[in-house]
Amino acid sequence: MRVLGIETSCDETAAAVYDSERGLLAHRLYSQVELHAEYGGVVPELASRDHIRKLLPIVDEVLSESNSGPDDIDGIAYTAGPGLIGALMVGTSFGRSLAWSWGKPAVAVHHMEGHLLAPMLEDNPPPFPFVALLVSGGHSQLVDVRGVGDYRLMGESVDDAAGEAFDKTAKLLDLPYPGGPALSSLAESGRPDRYRFPRPMTDRPGLDMSFSGLKTFALNTLKDAIAQHGDPLPEQIRADIALAFEQALVETLAIKCRRAIRESGHQRLILAGGVSANTRLRSHMREIMEKEQIEVRYPRLEFCTDNGAMIAYAGWQRLRKGAHENLSFRPKPRWPLNE
């Protein structure tokens, strides 16, 4: 079975062709980073308009790279939510219309299910069951995964998502959008233990997370540092603060993952979503979980952040079970994973 996947939920236009026999045949991505950079964050209307401009050429490219014509494609998968409504409408209406004109089934894919299944694109996919830590710009979730479509939410962020906390704290540090990677590279030159941030919600039981306090803590730390060192802050102090923030966030996620693993009894942890591209998170999680004899897996870097391959793969998993949507399917900006 061969599936065309389409992703337009936020600021990346992406498409891919996945073949169940041969694996990933082609994938392309166009990032809108430059478009939104001057505004310091994603401008939804600009995102939608740019998806309209870029989607058709990108789909053309993956079709020709994979030598696929309409007859070779068995179904079309598109991200239907969660995400920005205008952006989702582009991929949904495009994917749905193309499927109709080709007489093929179309499936609506949940963006976070795409992230969750992204590690399956690797040569040696992790077997079920496992705990998945999904950390993106809009979500931080711990999910008990027993199979494709069998998801139980164990805990989630009650306020800012992990990626959102990265982005907002990066802004406070005058770093460019997208903040996560920028903050992380500034933190590389930080000196450990110069500042200490709290590990929110780790002193009480439960798997929910809260990261908005870290951003506030960063703001107060910056104010104190400016009072002490002057404005603008020396680069070294900014790096020290970035490192302290990153360490706190990563260690908090690790504490929650260890709890989730113990509660589930599973032997495997999957990291996915944009923040799983974070080097410190990947290495710290491996280190902590090794002590517990827990295997840690994450997608290759380009499949941590948004991409079309994960949507094509998740779509194939649904299509092979006979799922498809009728013409009236609407994008869902909010959409719980287990629905």
Cβ closest to Zn ion, residue 247 vs residue 276 = 276
Q: Does residue 232 have a cis bond before it (omega within 30 degrees)?
A: yes
Instruction: Tell whether residue 306 is a contact of ligand KG4 (CB under 6 A).
Output: yes
Cβ closest to ligand KG4, residue 50 vs residue 306 = 306
Which neighbouring-strand residues pair with 243?
A: none
Q: Which stretch binds ligand KG4 (CB under 6 A): 151-159, 163-171, 194-202, 215-223?
A: 163-171
| Closest chain position to ligand KG4 (CB) | 274
The CA distance from 52 to 187, in Å, is: 36
Instruction: Tell whether residue 78 is a contact of ligand KG4 (CB under 6 A).
Output: no
Q: What is the DSSP letter of 294?
A: -
Residues in the chain: 339
Instruction: Tell whether residue 29 is a contact of ligand KG4 (CB under 6 A).
Output: no
State the minimum distance, in angstroms, from the CB of residue 67 to ligand KG4.
29
Instruction: Tell whether residue 276 is a contact of Zn ion (CB under 5 A).
Output: no
- The footprint of Zn ion on residues 291-320 (CB under 5 A) is 306
- 138 contact choice in Zn ion, ligand KG4, none (CB below 5 to 8 Å, kind-dependent): ligand KG4
Pick one of 10, 84, 201, 253: the residue that binds ligand KG4 (CB under 6 A). Answer: 10
The count of chain residues that interact with Zn ion, using the rule CB under 5 A, is 2
Q: 86 near 44, Cβ under 8 Å?
A: yes
Instruction: Tell whether residue 5 is a contact of ligand KG4 (CB under 6 A).
Output: no
Pick from 201, 209, 214: which is nearest to 158 by CA? Answer: 209
The CA distance from 282 to 285, in Å, is: 5
The CA distance from 120 to 272, in Å, is: 11
Numbers of helices and strands, H then E, in the chain: 10, 10
Pick one of 179, 190, 200, 299: the residue that binds ligand KG4 (CB under 6 A). Answer: 179
Cβ closest to Zn ion, residue 306 vs residue 325 = 306
State the minimum distance, in angstroms, from the CB of residue 163 to ligand KG4.
3
Instruction: Tell whether residue 181 is a contact of ligand KG4 (CB under 6 A).
Output: yes
Please name the residue ranges forming H helices in the chain: 33-37, 44-65, 85-102, 111-117, 162-172, 179-187, 212-229, 235-264, 279-291, 309-319
- 178 contact choice in ligand KG4, Zn ion, none (CB below 5 to 8 Å, kind-dependent): ligand KG4
Q: 262 near 288, Cβ under 8 Å?
A: no
- The footprint of Zn ion on residues 107-166 (CB under 5 A) is 136
State the minimum distance, in angstroms, from the CB of residue 184 to Zn ion.
17
- The footprint of ligand KG4 on residues 277-296 (CB under 6 A) is 277-278
The CA distance from 284 to 216, in Å, is: 24
The count of chain residues that interact with ligand KG4, using the rule CB under 6 A, is 19
Q: Does residue 178 have a cis bond before it (omega within 30 degrees)?
A: yes
Which residues contact ligand KG4 (rule: CB under 6 A)? 10, 136-138, 163, 166-167, 178-181, 184, 273-275, 277-278, 305-306
